[in-house]
Amino acid sequence: MFKEIITLTLCCLFIAVYAAPATTTAEKEEPPHPYNFAYEEKDANFTITRQEEMDEHGTVKGSYSYIDRDGVFRTVNYIADENGFRAAVQSNEPGLTNSAPAAATIQIN
């Protein structure tokens, strides 16, 4: 019984020591790989656009929007950087009012 406990303890110790360097490696961040893309999809009833870019510092900026054939639209602009993710919504959708729920702003145009 005592021998089994020692064996188990050594086993766990080995796993802990062995796992430690892997954790350190996983925490090492890769340098950002800048990119950008954009697209638009359109038919008789709506237009959808989307674009995003990341710079060499890892800051991501982008937007997506929807506009229907009556001109009702919603556009979301966002940024993600060392201060977190922030989004700003612009819209003319009926029933909306200017507000800032969940650290996001809604602007009626």
Ligand X SMILES: *[C@@H]1O[C@H](CO)[C@@H](O)[C@H](O)[C@H]1NC(C)=O
User: Where do contacts with ligand X occur on this chain (CB under 6 A)?
Assistant: 43-45
| Least gap, CB of 78 to ligand X (angstroms) | 28
| Least gap, CB of 44 to ligand X (angstroms) | 4
Q: What amino acid occupies position 47?
A: T
CA angle in degrees (0–180, nearest 5) for 39-32-48: 15
Q: Which C-beta is closer to ligand X: that of 41 or that of 55? A: 41
Q: Which C-beta is closer to ligand X: that of 43 or that of 56? A: 43
